[in-house]
Structures are given as C-alpha cells and as structure tokens.
C-alpha cells in the first residue's frame, strides 16, 4: 500500500514513522494498536484522523 502525501497530523506522522522504522505491515500495525485494519489504512491515507480514544491505543 502506498501512503498518500497529504498534510499529516502529528499523531499520524508518528504512526507512519513508527511503522517505517520497524518495517511492519499495516496488518501488524493494526494488531499492535488494537484498531481494525481498515481504520489504520484510513488513518495512514489521511481519510480519517486519530481520535483521542484511538491515540491511547497507539502509545
């Protein structure tokens, strides 16, 4: 999956950097955060934001 280069939020940027640094798949990122695969994809491509509730899962 190619990540779009839309204007990212800080939380989204950190999530992308985390995945790139550890060379993990979107599926593994979803498992680690407890979010669904589709939700993570939507966050990464910029069509959804990370909510405070979801942000707690990403820490």
In Å, how far are 3, 4, 14, 24, 58 from 7, measured between CA atoms? 12, 9, 13, 22, 20
Nearest-angstrom CA–CA distance, 53 and 50 = 8
Gap between the Cα atoms of 55 and 23, Å rounded: 20
So where are the chain's domains?
Answer: 10-58
Per-residue pLDDT tens over the stretch 1-54 = 554 545 667 878 888 898 899 999 999 999 988 889 999 999 888 888 777 676
Q: What is the pLDDT, as a whole number, of residue 59?
A: 53
Give residue 38's pLDDT. Answer: 94
**Collapsed DSSP state (helix, strand, coil) of residue 35:** coil
- 10-58 — its CATH code? 1.10.260
pLDDT number for residue 23: 93
């Amino acid at each position: 999956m190619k990540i779009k280069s839309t204007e990212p939020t800080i939380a989204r940027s950190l999530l992308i950097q985390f995945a790139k640094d550890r060379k993990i798949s979107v599926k593994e990122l979803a498992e680690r955060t407890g979010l669904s695969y589709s939700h993570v994809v939507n966050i990464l491509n910029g069509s959804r934001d990370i909510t405070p509730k979801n942000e707690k899962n990403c820490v």
